[in-house]
């Protein structure tokens, strides 16, 4: 896993393009989505666009779930896989493509 509770991270991949690059605080682990590690995150700079479950409605919220693989911790340590990951499909199937 890339993140741990308390980390600041930015969203590197998301089904909603307006969330990409947003800074979030990793709050706690949540129930895995699509079999992948998932975190509850809190926005540090305004609401995020989110998909409410189980209704599958699009909402704006200061908190939401984010796959661990879609977050990049802000730690000062270089992340070599960032550029490659933008062109590769997600390792887990996801809700990408919903609410477009």
Give pLDDT tens digits for 32-69: 988 899 999 999 888 999 877 677 788 899 998 999 99
Residues 6+ apart with CB under 8 A from 55: none
Are 48 and 62 contacting, i.e. CB atoms less than 8 angstroms apart?
yes
How confident is the model at residue 56, as a pLDDT? 78
Quote the percentage of the chain above a pLDDT of 70.
Answer: 73
Report yes or no on 54 lying in a domain. Answer: yes
CA distance linking residue 61 with residue 70, whole number of Å: 18
Report yes or no on 92 lying in a domain. Answer: no
Quote the pTM value. Answer: 0.73
Q: Which domain holds residue 41?
A: 8-87
Report yes or no on 38 lying in a domain. Answer: yes
CA distance linking residue 99 with residue 17, whole number of Å: 11
b or e along 35-45 (b: 16 or more beta carbons within 10 Å of the residue's beta carbon)?
Answer: eebbbbbebee
Number of separate domains in the chain:
1
What residues form DSSP beta bridges with 39?
Answer: 29, 66
Report yes or no on 32 lying in a domain. Answer: yes
CA separation (Å) from 88 to 57, 82, 91? 27, 10, 8
With 50 as the cut, is the pLDDT of residue 77 above it? yes
């Amino acid at each position: 896993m890339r993140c741990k509770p308390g980390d600041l991270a930015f969203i590197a991949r998301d089904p909603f393009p307006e969330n990409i690059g947003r800074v979030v605080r990793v709050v706690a682990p949540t129930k895995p989505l699509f079999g992948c590690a998932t975190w509850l995150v809190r926005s540090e700079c305004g609401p995020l666009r989110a998909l409410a479950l189980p209704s599958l409605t699009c909402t704006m919220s200061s908190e939401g779930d984010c796959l661990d693989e879609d977050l990049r911790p802000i730690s000062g340590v270089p992340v070599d896989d960032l550029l490659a990951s933008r062109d590769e499909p997600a390792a887990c199937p996801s809700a990408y493509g919903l609410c477009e």
